[in-house]
């Protein structure tokens, strides 16, 4: 069964460093998303991406965040200068066309020290 | 008022029990209502979705939406220890609005 994959599973970085989180969405899916979940909190929407551009973003997704689809399979989230409060699980999701059928990856745990 | 409210539990039931999980919401514009299951330190897994009001059944799982009360439910029949997980409700406006708004999740434990 096709699934969304994410790498790395755990990333530790120092405050102020740049990190890139990687995702491989399900191959025939056209819509891609990033969410985050701070420990003990709700899953929160960050950004959606379609046709090589951002279609929606939340207030959380400020100038330190960017997304890219560098090739036909990968979808990345870059955090330019990490802060302690960026520590969270980051989930990538994809959907074929229906936003209500989003399939999530296993997540990357980001720890900022 | 928070957009989506969900009792975090924990909820503990014996094997075979019927489980009822619920969410309330404030935005009457929500059109799609989803239930996800999340095992510890894993990503959310889509269980089922419902469009607008009504019921939907899939095996042991039944989802109900009452838009007039802004209340959704997930029922699990004949619960199994493997159902032990956190259950997240999520909602979306539909159309071009693809972002999901999640509840905080209810942690369920089914005891053998």
* Per-residue pLDDT tens listing for chain B (112 residues): 569 999 888 999 999 999 999 999 999 999 999 999 999 888 999 999 998 888 999 999 999 999 999 999 999 999 999 999 999 999 998 766 678 999 999 999 999 9
Chain B residues whose beta carbon lies within 8 Å of the beta carbon of residue A4 = 43
Q: Report the pLDDT value the prediction gives residue A98, as an integer from 0 to 100.
A: 77
Report whether the peptide linkage leading into residue B61 is cis, meaning its omega lies within 30 degrees of zero.
no
A23-41 confidence digits (pLDDT tens):
999 998 999 999 999 998 9
Q: According to the model, what pLDDT value does residue B1 have?
A: 54
Q: Quick one: average pLDDT of A15-22? A: 98
Partner B contacted by A94 (CB < 8 A): no
Q: Tell me what the mean pLDDT of segment A58-64 comes to.
A: 95
- B43, A95 contact by CB (below 8 A): no
Name, in order, each residue with C-beta under 8 angstroms of B71's C-beta and a sequence gap of 6 or more. B22, B23, B24, B25, B65
- Is the C-alpha dihedral spanning A63, A31, A25, B74 positive or negative? positive
Among left, alpha and beta (phi > 0; psi -120 to 50; other), residue A73 is: alpha
- Res A2: pLDDT: 83
Partners of B107 on chain A (C-beta within 8 Å) are none
Estimate to the nearest angstrom the gap between the alpha carbon of B45 and the chain centroid.
11
What is the pLDDT at residue A86? 97
B59: left (phi over 0), alpha (psi -120 to 50) or beta: left
Which of A100, A103, A105 shows the shortest C-beta gap to B92? Answer: A100
């Amino acid at each position: 069964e096709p699934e969304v994959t994410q790498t790395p599973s755990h990333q530790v970085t120092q405050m102020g460093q740049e990190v890139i989180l990687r995702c491989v969405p399900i191959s025939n899916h056209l819509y891609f998303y990033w969410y985050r979940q701070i420990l003990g909190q709700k899953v929160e929407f960050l950004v959606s991406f379609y046709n090589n551009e951002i279609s929606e973003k939340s207030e959380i997704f400020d100038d330190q965040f960017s997304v890219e689809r560098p090739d036909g399979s990968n979808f990345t989230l870059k955090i330019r200068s990490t802060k302690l409060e960026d520590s969270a699980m980051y989930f990538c999701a994809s959907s074929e066309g229906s936003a209500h059928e989003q399939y999530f990856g296993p997540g990357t745990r980001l720890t900022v020290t | 008022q928070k957009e989506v409210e969900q009792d975090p539990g924990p909820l503990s039931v014996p094997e075979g029990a019927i489980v009822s999980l619920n969410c309330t919401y404030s935005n009457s514009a929500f059109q799609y209502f989803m239930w996800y299951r999340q095992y510890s330190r894993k990503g959310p897994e889509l269980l089922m979705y419902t469009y607008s009001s009504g019921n939907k059944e899939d095996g042991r799982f039944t989802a109900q939406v009452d838009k007039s009360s802004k209340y959704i439910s997930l029922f699990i029949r004949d619960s199994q220890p493997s159902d032990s997980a956190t259950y997240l409700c999520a909602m979306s406006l539909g159309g071009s609005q693809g972002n999901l708004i999640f509840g905080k999740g209810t942690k369920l434990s089914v005891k053998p």
